[in-house]
Amino acid sequence: MSLEKNLAYIGEQLKSLTAIASPTGFTKKATEYLCEQFQKMGYEPELSNKGNINVVLGGEGSPLVLTAHLDTLGAMIRSIKENGRLRPTTLGGHQWNTADGENCMVFTRDGKMYTGVVLNTEPSAHVADENIERKEENMEILLDENVNDKAGVKALGIQVGDIIAMDPRTVITESGYIKSRFLDDKLSVAILLGIARAIKEEGWKLNRKVSLLFTVYEEVGHGGSFIPADTEEMISVDMGCVGADLECTERMVSICAKDSRGPYNYDLVTTLSEIAKEEGLDYAIDVYPHYGSDVEAALAGGYDIRHGLIGPGVYASHNYERSHMDGVMNSYKLLEKYLTR
């Protein structure tokens, strides 16, 4: 199987994954889909009580876990207004100023789905006397249904606590740019699917025991708080940050040296960067000032592990995000060499 074919597979998996709404706490369909993909490859995924997926890829000794998260940003209905509009509450670090005017979906507990649009309380330029600040208390969801009061909304089966998910609008351009909501972290989930597929089809000789862990509460901080007991090393495969004061671009693999919770394992960061340099990969070592990851949740949970973080560069995080297939390729190759050298 060629690298080109596997990159195409990763792109198609990304589209499938982003098409499944999975805000934190609403991930069942996404985990079912992922388990099905691994079962088709011949793996035996295991589902934890809280919904994380663990998949052993093979190898022996010095257990390594690669982790990515399936949960995304989103919202929940906080209350139903008297005029039939929905007041939201955030799930994860959702930024409402990036969602004004976006299409969305509302999922009810009896299995129905309704579409709607996110708008501020006075979005009409020809009506508003002054601009409305785009913060949570000023945002509301207008359903694409003929309802104009609370009773009408409740008659649809919609209630407080129902999930609100944004339209991902996933596009991969001919020039290789990847544009979508929730590249954080479904792009890396797709990369790990590609790694698992290559191990099976190409017969990679793994240099240690390697497992994959897909978490479902990363966006609220405790996704990786419980991991396999024999884990010695854990690498979070998440988005690499792109922005001011950072060297990473969308076409690179980013290796994080430090984030808001402190430094990553010095020797592991050094090893990953040396491999990237030896292989001629386009990479950057960066510091993320406003970031946290699943491997740090594992450390906070008391696990004695070496920890690292890599991922393809993603611009406009927690927004309508953008990356590039070159960043995917560099991330894929770095993981391949680290697992097989």
Clarify whether 145 is annotated catalytic.
no
What whole-number distance in Å separates Cα of residue 332 and Cα of residue 292?
A: 22
Phi, psi of 214 (to 5 degrees): -110, 120
| Marked catalytic residue, from 32, 60, 218, 232 | 218
User: CB of 259 within 8 A of CB of 291?
Assistant: yes
What whole-number distance in Å separates Cα of residue 305 and Cα of residue 109?
A: 39
> Torsion angle of alpha carbons 138, 85, 166, 289, nearest 10°?
20
User: CB of 114 within 8 A of CB of 339?
Assistant: no
What whole-number distance in Å separates Cα of residue 222 and Cα of residue 199?
A: 29
Q: What angle do CA 338, 3, 314 make, to 5 degrees?
A: 70
Q: Is 258 exposed, middle or buried (0-12, 13-18, 19+ CB in 10 A)?
A: middle
Catalytic residues: 218
